[in-house]
């Protein structure tokens, strides 16, 4: 389950990887993106461009601004849960990334070991996400988003009991359809990504501090 994500590609590299996507030239590499920060997303509004939404969803029906945001939505039963069923049908997004971190607690020790999970070829990918629009007391709109999680594949299961849903490129169009979608067409997409295409390695605890957004975050640690 993504606790932090990375998008270390330049705007040019991202535009090459997603040739159908409009990428803002000012996009800069990020090595330690944390909850409540802006993340790069593609909304299902038919515009095929990168937007930036705060990571942590506030459901549209919320009366007052939440102090605890919805960072993840479990795939199991997502079409029935009040906070997610409407966005699942109408407001979906791709969350762009090229990796994410998981922390593993050592037996009988307080410290946690961070790992960077990524594609073997280091290419960028897209998580399945939801977004919603909440209207604040002053009338302004606040757009926020969250990830969808599922059971892990065999690789990720070695370090965590959940993983973010990574969509196959062939499923982008189905996920981003602008009109209301039939949940039965979407649910089969919420599955573990093939483990043979992924890898992970241990990284420095420098990543554990969200203020550290530097290349050292993804440098392998000798073990």
pLDDT at res. 106: 81
pLDDT at 85: 94
- Provide the phi-psi class of 45: left if phi over 0, else alpha when psi is between -120 and 50, else beta: alpha
pLDDT computed for residue 66 by the predictor: 60
Looking at the domain assignment, is residue 196 inside a domain? yes
N-terminal to C-terminal alpha carbon distance within the chain: 24
pLDDT, residue 206, reads 96
Which pLDDT value is given to residue 138? 76
Domain annotation covers residue 41: yes
Q: How many domains does the chain have?
A: 1
- Using the structure block, give the residue that is written with the tokens 């299902």: 44
In the numeric block, which tokens belong to residue 71?
């960072």
Residue 84 within any structural domain of the chain: yes
In a domain? residue 223: no
The CATH number that applies at residue 202 is: 3.90.1680.10
Of 41, 64, 219, 52, residue with least CA distance to 130:
41
Instruction: Indicate whether 45 belongs to any domain.
Output: yes
E-assigned strand segments in the chain:
4-7, 30-33, 38-43, 51-55, 72-74, 92-97, 99-105, 112-119, 125-135, 141-150, 163-164, 198-202
> With a cut of 70, which residues of the chain have pLDDT below it?
1, 64-68, 223
Say what the pLDDT of residue 137 is. Answer: 73
Strand partners, 126: 96
Strand partners, 48: none
pLDDT of residue 1: 67
What is the rounded distance in angstroms from the CA atom of residue 117 to the CA atom of residue 167?
Answer: 15
- Burial of residue 113 (CB within 10 Å: 0-12, 13-18, 19+) is middle
Q: Is residue 177 part of a domain?
A: yes
Cα torsion 148, 154, 160, 161 to 10°: value is: 60
pLDDT given at position 219: 97
pLDDT score at 65? 62
Report H helices in 142-194: 172-175, 183-186
CA distance 221 to 200: 12
- 196 is in which domain, residue-wise? 4-218
SS3 readout for 44-61: CCCCCECEEEEECECCCC
186: helix, strand or coil: helix
């Amino acid at each position: 389950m993504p606790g932090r994500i990375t998008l270390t590609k330049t705007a040019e590299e991202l535009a090459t990887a997603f040739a159908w996507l409009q990428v803002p030239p000012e996009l800069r590499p990020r090595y330690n993106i944390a909850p409540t920060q802006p993340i790069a997303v593609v909304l299902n509004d038919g515009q095929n461009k990168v937007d930036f939404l705060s990571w942590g969803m506030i459901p549209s029906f919320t009366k007052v601004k939440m102090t605890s945001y919805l960072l993840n939505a479990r795939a199991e039963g997502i079409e029935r849960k009040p906070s997610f069923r409407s966005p699942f049908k109408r407001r979906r997004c791709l969350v762009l990334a090229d990796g994410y971190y998981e922390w593993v607690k050592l037996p009988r020790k307080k410290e946690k070991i961070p790992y960077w999970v990524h594609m073997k070829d280091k290419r960028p990918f897209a998580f399945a996400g939801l977004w919603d629009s909440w209207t604040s007391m002053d009338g302004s709109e606040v757009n926020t988003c969250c990830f969808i999680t599922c059971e892990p594949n065999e690789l990720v299961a070695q370090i965590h009991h959940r993983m973010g849903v990574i969509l196959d490129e062939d499923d982008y169009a189905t996920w981003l359809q602008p009109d209301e979608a039939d949940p039965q067409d979407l649910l089969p997409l919420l599955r573990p990504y093939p483990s043979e295409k992924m890898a992970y390695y241990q990284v420095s605890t420098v990543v554990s501090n969200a203020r550290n957004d530097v290349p050292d975050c993804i440098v392998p640690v000798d073990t």
